[in-house]
Amino acid sequence: MKEREELSRQLSIMMRKFVISYGKIIDADLSGSQVYILEILAEEGAVKSSYLAERLSITLPAVTNLANKLVSKGYIERQIPENDRRVTLLAITPLGQEIHDAINQRYATLTDAIWAGFSDEEISQLLVSYKRMVKNLEEHQQSKE
């Protein structure tokens, strides 16, 4: 059991250091949630705030607050579709896409540093383990709903 506790502690330390490094890669004012919003918008296009709230597991007012900050930086914009003026969508701007691309480039550099010294076999073993961890977390979250 002590190994599990130590592994959990090391995972927590690694995640904290990683999130701090990742979140501050480009813009010291950009939070992890804001980076995730940029990622979703870059990959999926314009979406409703309610969709982002669901994806991030946060409240709609929290999404509004995060979005307001991203709008003020020029990273995202609000769009009102012609076919339904009651709906407001959030979409990434060209500047937001540039920031997103730069974050991904720096992310690659950061992750390269993490995997330095690992053999291909160790990487493969970790990949299997991380996939299982993600699946376990998803199942745990679904059981709480």
The whole-angstrom separation of Cα 23 and Cα 30 is: 6
Topology adopted by domain 2-114: Arc Repressor Mutant, subunit A (1.10.10)
Q: Among 20-29, 35-44, 113-122, name the one with the lowest average pLDDT.
A: 20-29
Nearest alpha-carbon partner for 72 in 46, 88, 93: 93
pLDDT at 24: 63
pLDDT at 52: 95
Cβ neighbourhood burial of 35 (10 Å; 0-12, 13-18, 19+): buried
98: number of Cβ within 10 Å: 13
The whole-angstrom separation of Cα 48 and Cα 120 is: 41
pLDDT tens string 35-92: 899 999 999 999 999 999 999 989 999 999 999 999 999 999 999 988 888 899 999 9
Percentage of the chain beyond pLDDT 70 is 92
Domain positions in the chain are: 2-114, 119-145
Say whether pTM exceeds 0.75. Answer: no
DSSP per-residue letters across 27-49: -TT--HHHHHHHHHHHHH-SEEH
